[in-house]
Amino acid sequence: MDRINRLIATVLLLQRKKRLRAEDIAAYFGTSSRTVYRDIDALCEAGVPIAGEAGYGYSLQGEHLAPVMFTEEEAGSLLMGAEFVRHLTDVSLQQHLQSALVKVQSVLPSDKREHFERMQSSVSVFTRPAAFQEHLGNDMLSTLQQAIASRLVVRIAYENRQAGASERLVEPLHLVYYGNHWHVIAYCRLRKEIRDFRLDRVLNLAMQDEHFTPHETFSLTDFFAQQYELREPHEVRVEVSSDALRIIAAQKYYYGFVQEESLAHGAILTFVVPSLQWIMRWLLSFGAYITILSPPELRVMFAQEVRAIALRQMNGLSNVSNTSLSGNVE
């Protein structure tokens, strides 16, 4: 590692650690303590606020950020992720994103900035008319991020599918995006259990000054697995034309595929699923290439959804309804 990169890495190291001795820094970089002393002197002369105390080591004063260098590949990855953030988050996070991109661009060498701008203009994400863009507050995701990190209780006004609007205190644990919606998984003090709240149903929220005890045993994977276990599984039989078989073959195991019966012009596939609505969204994407054989209630649901989609398209809309993975969604 050359000296310039070592100096940058030293500042980054001091940012991560509250205090480091010269010998600790020397061991990290494989240099001598004398080299560390010279590096610290050089950083101080450059204006980096490093304080040293005999017997205790060095610490970074204030919130000084070191210059960060990006490769073209790293910058491209950031741009790709940024485009998703731009379309799938609220106004507050979008503003933070824009500020971060300006900073990324500012640390790129001048000859790379034009290349960066070309990469930025060549990436686009097209989504359905998303409900969260219409219903999420300007800073809902940012507020929940802060509440989760700080373990602060949040008061929400929530519109339940069955019971209407209600106000409750929740202890937010995890933000998750699925089914074309943002959700917050939180301990609900009203229900006295961990619940799944869709954010487009949150009418308003406010972070409280009360800290909650960490839920050390909480696991998002275990939470969703438990919701599946609580459901009675459904057997679904679908006739698929040969034109769609190849596409379905690449995805069928994700949807609980268990058996295939070959036909002259396709196949009959059998699935075992925890939710009919969940597999229906997938089957809808194949349109006339599939015929639902059983169960009867899925045939009815499928026909109703097709009619609803046609009606929305006639009204200039194309947003297919989404349901939740979790049976505990409010």
pLDDT tens track for 91-110: 878 877 777 777 677 666 66
CATH placement of domain 3-60:
1.10.10.10
**Tens digit of each residue's pLDDT (9 = 90 or more) over 185-207:** 999 999 999 999 988 889 999 99
| Both tokens assigned to 180 | 């074309």
Burial of 94 by CB count in 10 Å (0-12 exposed, 13-18 middle, 19+ buried)?
middle
DSSP classification of residue 195: E
Dihedral of alpha carbons 306, 248, 278, 91, sign? negative
**Tens digit of each residue's pLDDT (9 = 90 or more) over 245-258:** 888 887 888 788 99
Residues of the chain with CATH 3.30.70: 234-314
| Both tokens assigned to 282 | 């997938």
**Kind and range of the H or E element at 145?**
helix 140-150
Q: Where are the alpha helices (DSSP H) in 285-322?
A: 296-314
Residues of the chain with CATH 1.10.10.10: 3-60
The answer, yes or no, to whether residue 174 has pLDDT greater than 90, is: yes
pTM for the full predicted model: 0.56
Cβ-contact 21, 82 below 8 angstroms: no
> How many CB atoms lie under 10 A from the CB of residue 122?
9
The third-level CATH classification (topology) of the domain covering 132-218 is SH3 type barrels. (2.30.30)
Pick the CATH number of 234-314 from 3.30.70, 1.10.8, 3.30.310, 3.30.420: 3.30.70
pLDDT mean over 9-16: 80
The answer, yes or no, to whether residue 131 has pLDDT greater than 50, is: no
Give me the DSSP letters along 73-102.
Answer: HHHHHHHHHHHHHHHHS-HHHHHHHHHHHH
Residues of the chain with CATH 2.30.30: 132-218
Angle at CA 319, nearest 5°, toward 235 and 326? 45
